[in-house]
Chains A and B, each alone.
Chain A
Amino acid sequence: MLNAPNDAMGVETATLASAPRRAGLSEAARRRWFLAVLLGPTAVIVLAVVAFPFVYNVAISFSNMNIYTLRDWELIGLDQYGAVFREPAFWSVFFKTIVWTVVCVAFHVGLGVLLAVLLHQSFIKGKSAWRVLLIIPWAVPQYITALTWRGEFNFEFGAVNLLIEGLGGSAVSWLSDPFTAFVAAIITNVWLGFPFMMVIALGGLQSIPRELYEAAEVDGASAWTQFRTITAPLLKPVMIPAITLGTIWTFNNINVVWLVSNGGEPNDQTHILVSYVYEAAFSMYRFGWAAALSMVIFAVLFVFTQVFLNRTQATESVY
């Protein structure tokens, strides 16, 4: 007893051993009980706001819940899933969501890493000020940004067309055409999202040993070669999880699409899956159908995450 090691709480078990024991409970059991009580409220909250809604959503995805059956819905098996895949608009919206996600994330990562590499260079002056300026898009609430950008895409009075016309181009009906409205939403989301990738990349760059670049310079490697053989592989463990998160967030980003396109305008042609779910649930009260579609979205993202992390071996060391 007197030679027993200290426990994790820094209290010698010898000291505890000499104190009167609570009948029926070992020290380890008491500690587990105490931790359980400390974690209990958090667990309750997580169960209430994450687990229960998820399980409930799974349940109503197998139900006929709609405006008439809100109180007395019944389970109907896989009918809603069948209805989702039979919906004519589903596949086009799904395709658009893929395009939306791929394009946005590509630009987020590309711009973010480019700016991070630039900011990491020794010849850049005023780095702190640049970092603050470049983080501002991320810091401003999405709601404000999306509505502001919507105004900037106005055909006659928006700054985007004023700039285009000032450079000798022709004004674009950004928000009146489905394609350009979609592009407008992408531009807005790229503006919002690149700072996150830039910050992650900056952190990753700090951890790359300077000696590697010095050795490469000695060997005559160009800037591009250094980026390709040193920077990119060593940024990978940091960027892959960020890209995974960014993909999930972008896939599910209802705010930008909904606000820039004013709810899928024109003619519901700028919807992505998640805004489509929102409209089905809260405009049309097709709760069962919307729940099934949200489970399809979950499955898509779950499969993507598993495959992506496996294929990129993100968790393996590059050294």
Chain B
Amino acid sequence: MRLLVCALFLATAVGGCAGASGPPPEGEPVVVRIWHQKDAAERQFLDDWAAAYNASQDTVVVETLYKETEELRNHYVFAAIGGKGPDLIFGPADNMGTLGITETIRPLDSLVDPDFLAGFSEDGRVTYDGKLYGLADQIGNHLTFVYNPALLPEPPETLDELAALGRTLTRDTDGDGDADQYALVWNYTEPFFFIPFLTSFGGWVMDDAGNPTLDTPETVAAIQYVLDLRDRYGVIPREADYETAKALFRDDYAAATIDGPWSWGGYQDAGVDVQLAPLPLNEQTGLRAQPMAAAKAYSLNPAVPDWKLPAVLGVLQLLTGDAIQAQMARELATIPVRTAVRQSDVMTSSETLTQSLAQIEYSRPMPTAPQMRQIWDAMRGPYQLVMNGQVSAEEGARLMQEQAEKRIADTFLN
């Protein structure tokens, strides 16, 4: 009896440590694992696609696992460093810098069929340091002006018109002296959501060499404009993080918001008849408010053994090919990055897609340089100090630059 118990314990211990490493036995399918950070609708789409694909053949099984964006990057890096992790990782293009530096993704230049590669638009091929690291199934992540036509029949064309909305759409409906409805709510204290106003004044976050370019008159002007929206024109509430802004817009306490593709379906599901419009034009500069846009792409784990590469690359091609991108455009209103699909009548299949594409035309690619992460973190603090009235816009811009340079030095030069 003791011998049996010992054997059971030892088997548990040893069995738990065992892991598959070589090809599967004859007749067994190859398992291709994908980690991703797709939003709810796309997640369901991917799972449905994988189920259908797995059922249609018996040589490859696709398994998917969702992780939140930050978790995905960190977990993947640590897994891949140890030679483990999924075969493919799906995420935004700005991950490429970090994954490229840590050598946790493998260049695809020599692995993917050149004819297949040629079918991608330029924004569908994600590169870093001159190498192709990701093949995208969409371009997106772009903020747009999202409005409720019941409260705001026509979206503002210019920043001046946006500022004027405060007079008509920010209202105290119950007479208690506090506004109960706002013209606009959005996560304005987060740098990513500040970018469109920065670009409208001609500013940008970094130069071509990856050096931050935050202490500029353009940054100061953009910060001041957002401050004026709140303090001078009363367009936006005193505080509004992402969840608060989403709740206010969804529950008709705001006529408009600035949000991305991951949110539109949620607003529609909540019963808001959302319409999209490109962010306004800055009449002072003649420039449109341009959000950042990023491809979302699949990358290859360098730990994938040679015997498995054909299966993994085959799945990669299926997941980024014309058929799936056309289907995604029709069902999810994602913007494809396959030239043939972009030029087909799929692009007119939904109003949301048409409106989304209109914003993409006025967007700037998010830099894939790894310094971008440090710049985001450096912008956030000083920007919030300005919003809290603790420093001026000029001081805020200076602090952003100072902190960005320090963080980049601490991360990349130590």
List residues of chain A with CB under 8 Å of any chain B CB.
Answer: 34, 37-38, 40-41, 44, 64, 66-68, 70-71, 83, 147, 150-151, 154-157, 173, 175-177, 262, 265-269, 279, 282-286, 289
Contact = CB atoms under 8 A, between A and B. Distances in A.
Interface in B238-290: 238-239, 241, 243-244, 248
A41 B9 CA distance: 7
Contacts of B370: 67
Nearest to B11: A41
A44 B17 CA distance: 10
A262 B411 contact: no
A284 B407 contact: yes
Given A40-B9, A68-B412, A155 B238 contact: yes
B70 interface: yes
Given A38-B6, A284-B410, 10 more contacts: A37-B6, A38-B9, A64-B414, A68-B412, A83-B414, A157-B237, A266-B384, A266-B388, A283-B377, A284-B377
B77 A70 contact: yes
Contacts of A147: 243
Interface in B348-378: 370, 373-374, 377
B380 A265 contact: yes
A67 B384 contact: no
A173 B238 contact: yes
A217 to B, nearest CB: 54
A286 B409 CA distance: 11
Interface stretch (B46-54, B84-92, B96-104, B110-118): B96-104
B10 interface: yes
State the main secondary structure of chain A at its contact with B.
loop
Contacts of B189: 265
Interface in B65-99: 70, 74, 77, 81, 98
24 contacts: A40-B9, A41-B16, A44-B13, A67-B98, A67-B102, A68-B101, A68-B412, A71-B81, A147-B243, A151-B244, A156-B179, A173-B239, A173-B388, A176-B384, A176-B388, A177-B388, A265-B380, A265-B381, A266-B381, A267-B382, A279-B377, A283-B373, A283-B377, A284-B410
B387 interface: yes
B178 interface: yes
A285 B373 CA distance: 11
Contact of A176 (B6, B239, B248, B380): B239
A266 B244 contact: no
B237 A156 contact: yes
B162 interface: no
B384 A40 contact: no
A70 B81 contact: yes
Interface in B187-218: 189
Nearest to A39: B9
Contacts of A38: 5-6, 9
Contacts of A289: 414
Contacts of B387: 176
Q: Ordered nearest first, which 4 A-B pairs have the shortest CB separation?
A: A267-B381, A266-B384, A41-B13, A155-B239
Contacts of A176: 238-239, 384, 387-388
A18 B196 CA distance: 88
A279 B378 CA distance: 12
Task: Specify which of A70, A154, A267 lies most central, judged by the most chain B CB atoms within 10 Å of its CB.
Answer: A267
A160 to B, nearest CB: 12
A265 B191 CA distance: 13
A78 B373 CA distance: 28
A192 B377 CA distance: 29
Contact of A156 (B238, B388, B412): B238
B385 A285 contact: no
A269 B15 CA distance: 48
Nearest to B70: A282
Contact of B244 (A157, A173, A284, A286): A157
B374 A284 contact: yes
Contact of B74 (A40, A177, A279, A282): A282
B302 to A, nearest CB: 11
Contacts of B414: 64, 66, 83, 286, 289
A92 B414 CA distance: 22
B344 interface: no
Given A38-B9, A283-B373, A156 B239 contact: yes
Contacts of B179: 156
Contacts of B101: 67-68
A71 B377 contact: no
A156 B384 contact: no
B12 interface: yes
Given A71-B103, A154-B239, A282-B74, A37 B9 contact: yes
Contacts of A285: 98, 411
A89 B6 CA distance: 54
B11 to A, nearest CB: 10
Nearest to B7: A37
Nearest to B78: A70
B244 A154 contact: yes
Contact of A265 (B98, B244, B384): B384
A267 B411 contact: no
A265 B385 CA distance: 9
A70 B388 CA distance: 38
Contacts of B410: 284, 286
Contacts of A279: 377
B13 to A, nearest CB: 4
Contacts of A173: 238-239, 388
